[in-house]
Amino acid sequence: MNYGTPRRVAVVAANRIPFVRSNTAYFELSNQTMLTDTLSGLVQKCNLQGELLGEVVGGAVMKHARDWNLVRESVLGCGLHPNTPAYDVQQACGTGLEAAILVANKIALGQIDAGIACGTDTTSDAPIAVSRGMQRALMAMNAARTRGGKFKASLGLVKPAHLIPELPVNTEPRTGKSMGQHAQLTAHRYGITREEQDKLALHSHLNLAKAYDEGFFDDLLMPYHGVHRDNNLRPDSTIEKLSKLSPAFDRKEGTITAANASPLTDGASAVLLASEEWAQKKGLPVLAYLTAGEVAAVDFIDEREGLLMGGAYAIPRLLHKRGIALQDFDFYEIHEAFSAVVLCTLAAWESADFCRTKLGLANPLGSIDRTKLNVKGGSIATGHPFAATGCRIVATLAKILNEAGGGRGLISICAAGGQAVTAIMEK
What is the spatial distance between Cα 3 and Cα 381, in angstroms, rounded to a whole number? 42
Q: Which DSSP letter does residue 326 get?
A: T
* Known catalytic membership, residue 118: no
Of the listed 46, 78, 93, 391, which one is catalytic?
A: 93
| 182: annotated active-site residue | no
- Catalytic residue, chosen from 182, 203, 205, 384, is 384
Instruction: Please list the alpha-helical segments (H only) found in 283-419.
Output: 311-322, 339-350, 352-357, 379-382, 389-404
- For 59, list phi and psi in degrees, rounded to 5: 170, -170
- Of these residues, 118, 344, 355, 414, which one is catalytic? 414
Cα(6)–Cα(200) distance, integer angstroms: 39
| Whether 414 is catalytic | yes
Q: What angle do CA 361, 365, 371 make, to 5 degrees?
A: 170
Return left, alpha or beta for 292; rule: phi > 0 is left, psi -120 to 50 is alpha, else beta: beta
Q: What is the CA radius of gyration of the chain?
A: 22
Helices 194-213 and 339-350: crossing angle in degrees, nearest 10, is: 110
**Residue 427 CB: number of other CB atoms within 10 A?**
22
Q: Where are the alpha helices (DSSP H) in 173-256?
A: 179-190, 194-213, 239-242
Which amino acids are annotated catalytic?
93, 384, 414
